Amino acid sequence: MTRSMKTAVYLIGAGPGDPELLTLKGRRCLEAADCVVYDHLVNRELLQFAPGGAERVYVGKQGGHDHISQTEINSLLLARARQGKTVARLKGGDPFIFGRGGEEAEVLAGAGVPFEIVPGVSAGSAAPAYAGIPLTHRDYGATVAFVAAQQDPTKEDPLLDWGKISSAAQTLVFFMGARSLRQVVEQLTRHGRSPATPVALIRWGTRPSQEVVTGTLESILDRAGPMDPPTLIVVGEVVRLRERLRWFDNRPLFGKRVLITRPRRQAQDFRRALELLGARAISFPTVEVREPDSWAVLDRALETIDQYDWLIFTSVNGVKYFFQRYFRRHPDIRQLKGVRIAAIGPATRRAVLDFNLAVDTLPSDYQAEGLVESLRGKVVKGMRVLLPRARVAREVLPRQLQRQGARVEVVEAYRTAPPDNAPSQWRQVLDESPPDMVVFTSSSTVANLSDLTHPEPLAQSLKGVAVACIGPITAGTARELGLQVDLVPKKYTTASLIEAMEAYFSRKG
């Protein structure tokens, strides 16, 4: 393979499950792919890095049953490469550590197809780290060996020499250990390992669904019970350190599946905050924010923007789309000189501050009623007020300001609609285990999900799922649609919502 030849296939290590463990190079290769071929152990969140039009082909092997044979996978890689496509072959962990990446590379090399290997973070090191088990430690073990516990049954001479393996290293890490635990225990004790040697079983390491069972060679079979793949076995004195170094699976929201219904881009910070607390945050936007069908009304207002007394924002989206249009009409921000600005809450205020503008009024109660109260005596008879917002919104604010004598102009700056692919995504959510909690951050997120589940009532679709709402207005909509609301924070912010979620799950145990 010469340097001048264009790479056709990237054999990419996707890491063990935590999507943030994908390497920068792995992400760059995914972003350039025309076709992504991915395994069962690959976190599907990584597929978002591939271009929207890229072909996605699942070739997972699960529970000992092949979705597609290795020979077929090899043929698929060759076929797509020969079609001139850039192929991202996404493999769990590292492609060259029990990932059959070597076999696929041999096929590509034999066919003269240019390829590159993109190493990944191996589950062999990452899963123990997330379990609080360092594979080496100068007081517990200076050597480590990685072993495939499950061997090819077609080979007459097995590759495992248990006599050598037992004494090969102070720490032993067995891949594919779920169905081989009894054999590992029996063979190690038969070949000299003390029955008192500590053992850890780690299933779905680095993910919010991670499970860890510890014991000794003597006790682990009784403690473990049946464990399904993918399970890693760690044998050695280093396992004792888990009690002191456990950091990942003891966080307050660990293992809780939380469904987030707000638009994906707006949910990023919220999602990250939940994940830092150990939750599995599932993005399922029931609302998509789009430009209005026509900018005409907003454009007319922008022509005389300096004649308004107040500019009121009731959402981050209102700020975003207003200024997106504003800078098409005006070269700089000085046209807003003399116009006072009100924001409904802290997030909206931060969005305004990003434009180096001051916010004159921020209510203590982050809803329309609170904003009306904060403007009492400030917005008076005859004042002109511009309210850029969504097409469909509550009328409390403009009506109350009009009663105070203000001339209020409501202009559509953006609109909301259900995402086009929401039905198929909802089916995927239902196919997995149900979430522990669903979070609604606006009335539209509730209403759109209700429309999506029709004709089944929303309450039936979410049976057994806790419901959290960011504020009383959203909670009111949820109750109108038959939901029992379990949680509304005292302050209507995502930070307060997360605190309330911690308290809720703490009570539930």
Q: What is the CA radius of gyration of the chain?
A: 28
Nearest-CA neighbor of 217 among 232, 231, 204, 236?
236
Give CA–CA dist 488/5, Å, rounded.
59
Please confirm, yes or no, whether 337 is among the known catalytic residues. no
State the maximum Cα–Cα separation within the chain, in Å, rounded to a whole number.
Answer: 93
Rounded to 10 deg, the angle between the 472-480 and 443-453 helix axes is 20
**Residue among 333, 334, 351 nearest 342 (CA):** 351
**CA 123 to CA 99: how far, in whole Å?**
11
Nearest in space to 91 (alpha carbons), one of 67, 123, 127, 115: 123
Instruction: Count other Cβ atoms within 10 Å, centred on residue 374.
Output: 19
The owner of tokens 């979410």 is 462
Active site residue 381: no
Placement of tokens 């239902």 in the chain: 430
Give dist(CA 90, CA 101) in Å, integer: 10
Task: Give the number of other Cβ atoms within 10 Å of residue 425's Cβ.
Answer: 16
Given the residues 176, 383, 437, 501, select the one marked as catalytic: 176
The residue to which tokens 């780290």 are assigned: 129
Instruction: Give me the catalytic one of 39, 94, 249, 436.
Output: 39
Question: Would you call 5 a catalytic residue per the annotation?
Answer: no
Q: Helices marked H in 330-421 — which ranges? A: 346-353, 368-374, 396-403
Q: Read off the DSSP letter of residue 327.
A: H
| In contact, 3 and 23? CB cutoff 8 Å | no
Q: Which of 25, 61, 378, 491 is catalytic?
A: 61
Contact 121, 15 (CB under 8 A): yes
| Active site residues per annotation | 39, 61, 176
